[in-house]
Amino acid sequence: MLENYLPIMVFIFLGIAFGVGPMLIGYLLGPSKPDEEKNSQFECGFPAFDDSRMYFNIRYYLVAILFILFDLEVAFVFPWAVVQSDLGWFGFIAMSVFLFLLVVGFVFEWKKGALEWE
Amino acid sequence: MVSLSDYLILSAVIFCIGLVGIFINRTNIITLLMCVELILVAVNTNFIAFSHFLGNEAGQIFVFFILTVAAAEVAIGLAILTLLFRNKGSINVDVTNSLKG
Amino acid sequence: MMNTFQFDTALLLVALPEIFLLSSIVVILLVDLFLTKGFKQVTYYLTQFSLFITGLLAFNLIGHPETVIFSNSFVLDNMASVFKVFMMGATMVAMVYSRHYLTQHSLFRGEYFVLVLLSVLGMMVMVSGYSLLTLYLGLEILSLSLYTLIAIARERSGAIEAALKYFVLGAIASGLLLYGMSMIYGISGSLNISEISAFASDANLGSRETLIINFGLVFLVIGIAFKLGAVPFHMWVPDVYQGSPTSVTMFLSTVPKIAAVAMLVRILIDGLGAMHPYWSDLFMVLALLSIALGSVVALMQTNIKRMLAYSTISHVGFIMLGFVTGVVTGYGAATFYVLVYVFMSLAAFGIIILLNKKGFEADQISDYKGLSKHSPWFALMMLIVILSMAGVPPMLGFYSKFFILQQLVSAGFVTIAIIAVVFAVISAYYYLQIIKSMYFEDSEKEIVVSAPMDMKLILSINAILILVIGLFPDFWMKLALSLF
């Protein structure tokens, strides 16, 4: 029975190899001769005046979260629109229910004040 | 001609990168979210490849749903992250160590 | 092309409980939005009301002939209806207990109830899912609501941390499950459970097909084990149980387990039942590891929520052993076990919540010192629950373990049954610790039970039923068996 799991073992080992391997190869084989010129800023010719990993205002995240939801739900509307004439009233009502649920979500976030910038 | 097994190997590679990324990542939680997305991308690749070679649309429909669910998942992940940031002032993986027993 | 798509509206009646619940979620969400501060209790009563009606509708559908609707993706059979009724009942009880906790810790918000209802909806979809797509969607509705539910205590860093851990590990589990699903889809060419079953039980299945199904199967089993919290995929369980607000811990440790078992039955038995010899080995290993680790590690816990987490892990092990047997009676025993577990777990967390006060979580085992002096009645209730969890006759918990072991022995797994019994005896030790601190130790701290009357009443009934049903377990066992 145990030999049935051989492919899984192979998969696990290959998987680890694929994940860890390239990093290891880069670490081992890549020449590492830092000097002052190499470590200095490359872009635009002047030293950076801020850390690129700076913090964004938390409100951007909120907008991004709300955007991503409504943005992707719309993906369901396109395939529906293509076959709407075949689906008839059933399709129309089903899509209305779906959009109604989205509107409920929208009302909720509006009333909760998630859309206020200040 | 690209064959089915090529797609499957590609998706297996992406899947493994995502999975290993989650376990060896020790810095930023946003990276964890990206790795989760990689896993889902691998699954999507699988479904689309199978769907194409089987001539069966069910797999593509599944992909649609995975995409939207993934969006909802990321939204919740980011929301939890902002809460974590408010509580701890950092989103490094090592701040999540207070629960032990 | 003219209207080639046919749909019979009468079939919608089959999904009536779900449709009703979704509509009431929308209503409750909007009503709560426009309620002023003093009327927030309305949300609670609306929630209980809609759960009750949903349960009634589901009860009405018991005995309905098996029907598959929505392009073969939603099934109504007796198992689905009975599970739905149980889930509604358990959620209603959980909400009674939650209300006390939420008011004590100023977490009483409308969103809490909406999220609970949403997760219940997800579980109903899971229980009735008849295609990999519906099962996945139900699972995600459930999980996404649970992540948010934990994070509702937004000022507690422990809760946020628990939410994050649950989120990351839950997302990995979904990813693994999906990868397995994609493999099964790729080889069988269908997402539908009955078509997958027809494919898997085909006698002339080539070795290549068997190999690929096996490959997918391993991922499916890992994904399900993650969701159930079986060792070695249990890492999230103790942290999430400890970090979450106790009312959320109670909810997520009870009702979703029914849904997880239902999903297991749909995928691994209805769908891939023909592959039982392949997955039962995996299950056996996972089950024994869970029972062993759950019993041993729980001995070292001082936090009662964390201890109950490990106890859950060992209960999950027993449930999985029921599926190892490969016979219908074994599946029935596992189903019986999960329902009993939900019942006991609700009572145990109910007592933890009962002793909660503003700014005080009764989550250390030492908080129970001297409970028998300050509140002899609830010490007695806790005694019943603990003895039942430990599997002492004649409590309900004894019979659930007994049925599983009986099925294991009659299916020829005698060694496994013996190992399970040994660890069950070890686990009795940490249960006895709680009893010892309740009855034989004393503390200076005054324990005041400030819970409202309805909670005290329901909790007492809950605990006494564990004893009473334990005296007549046959009816419930027959019910569990009739589902397969």
- The runs of H, that is alpha helices, within chain B are 4-24, 29-54, 58-88
Please state, in angstroms and rounded to a whole number, the distance separating the CA atoms of residues C437 and A47: 66
Q: What distance in Å separates the CA atoms of residue C57 and residue C74, rounded to the nearest whole number? A: 17
Helix (H) or strand (E) holding C200: helix C193-200
Please tell me the predicted confidence (pLDDT) of residue C52.
94
| Identity of the amino acid at A46 | F
Residues 6 or more apart whose CB falls under 8 angstroms from that of A118 comprise none
**First-residue to last-residue Cα distance in chain A:** 63
Contact B71 A72 (CB under 8 A): yes
Contacts of residue C176 in chain B, CB cutoff 8 Å?
A: 39
Task: State how far the Cα of A50 lies from the Cα of A39, in Å rounded to an integer.
Answer: 16
Residue located via tokens 């909760």: A112
Instruction: Measure CA C97 to chain center.
Output: 17
Asked, for residue A81, whether it belongs to a domain, the answer is yes
Other beta carbons within 10 angstroms of residue B94's beta carbon come to: 8
Euclidean distance between CA atoms A111 and B16, whole angstroms:
43
pLDDT below 50 — which residues of chain C? 1-4
Residues of C in contact with A8 (CB under 8 A): 215, 218
Which tokens sit at C180? 């397995």
Nearest to C5 among A1, A7, A88 (CB): A88
CB contact set of C65 (below 8 Å; sequence gap of 6+): none
Q: Which residues pair with residue C303 across a beta bridge? A: C364
Structural domains in chain B, CATH included, are 26-93 (1.10.287.3510)
**A-B contacts (CB, under 8 Å):** 52
Q: Tell me if C170 sits within 8 A of C239, measured CB to CB.
A: no
With both helix axes pointing from N to C terminus, report the angle between A58-73 and B58-88 in degrees, rounded to the nearest 10.
Answer: 170
Q: How far apart are CA B61 and CA B64, in angstroms?
A: 5
DSSP structure class, residue B91: -
For tokens 């030999």, name the residue. A3
Instruction: Write out the two tokens for C424.
Output: 């069950």
Helix (H, G, I), strand (E, B) or coil at C74: strand
pLDDT at C3: 45
Q: What is the CATH number of the domain that holds A24?
A: 1.20.58.1610
Low-confidence ranges of chain A (pLDDT < 70): 1-4, 41-56, 118
Name the closest residue on chain B to residue C72, using Cα atoms. B58
Alpha helices in A1-118 (DSSP H): 6-29, 36-39, 58-73, 77-111
The token pair that represents C313 in the structure block: 């892990």
User: Chain B contact for C161, CB < 8 A?
Assistant: yes
* Count of CB atoms situated within 10 Å of the CB of C446: 7
Which of C235, C369, C372, C365 shows the shortest CA–CA distance to C307? Answer: C365
- Tell me whether residue A116 is in a domain: no
The partner residue sitting opposite A65, judged by closest CB among B21, B79, B85, is B79
pLDDT score recorded for residue C313: 92
Model pTM score: 0.89
How many structural domains does chain A have? 1
Which is more confidently placed, C170 or B95?
Answer: C170
> Looking at chain C, which residue has its C-alpha nearest residue B52?
C186
Mutate to test the interface with A, among B14, B20, B92 (most CBs of A within 10 A): B20
The DSSP line for C17-44 is HHHHHHHHHHHHHHHHHT--GGGTHHHH
Chains that touch B (3 or more CB pairs under 8 A): A, C
Of C140, C167, C183, the CB nearest to B77: C167
Question: DSSP of C207-274, one letter per residue?
Answer: HHHHHHHHHHHHHHHHHHHHHHT-TTS-THHHHHHHHS-HHHHHHHHHHHHHHHHHHHIIIIIIITGG
Q: Which of A8, A11, A72, A109 to mutate to test the interface with B (most CBs of B within 10 A)?
A: A72
d(CA C415, CA C393): 23
Distance CA C108, CA C462 (A): 24
Q: Are C219 and C227 in contact (CB under 8 A)?
A: no
In a domain, A117, yes or no: no
Asked whether the beta carbons of residue B68 and residue A72 sit closer than 8 angstroms, the reply is yes
C-interface mutation test, from A89, A104, A110, A112, most C Cβ less than 10 A away:
A104
Pull the structure tokens for residue C357: 């006060």
| Closest CB from A85, A107, A112 relative to C1 | A85
CB–CB of B80 and C147 under 8 A?
Answer: yes
Which of B13, B20, B82 is opposite residue A20, by nearest beta carbon?
Answer: B20
Token pair in block for residue A84: 């709407």
Between CA A90 and CA A84 the distance in angstroms is 9
CB of C110 closer than 8 Å to CB of C37: no
pLDDT of residue C157: 84
Give strand pairing partners of C357: C360
Distance CA C150, CA C132 (A): 27
What pLDDT, on the 0 to 100 scale, is given for residue C105?
84
Q: What is the pLDDT of residues C416-431, one digit of tens each?
A: 889 988 998 888 888 8
Domain hosting A17: range is: 2-111
Contacts of B23 in chain C (CB under 8 A): none
Chain B residue numbers with beta carbons less than 8 Å from the beta carbon of A82 are none
Structure confidence at residue C138 (pLDDT) = 94
> What is the residue-wise DSSP string for C289-327?
HHHHHHHHHGGG--BHHHHHHHHHHHHHHHHHHHHHS-S
The answer to whether residues C381 and C347 touch, using CB atoms and an 8 Å cutoff, is: yes
Contact A72 B67 (CB under 8 A): yes
Q: Determine the Cα–Cα distance for residues C349 and C236; give it in Å rounded to an integer.
A: 19
Q: Write down the pLDDT at residue C1.
A: 38
pLDDT in tens, A3-19: 667 777 787 788 788 77
Contacts (Cβ under 8 Å, ≥6 apart) of A68 = B71, B74, B75
What is the least distance, in Å, from the CA of B101 to any CA of chain A?
30
pLDDT at C2: 42
Whether A68 is covered by a domain: the verdict is: yes
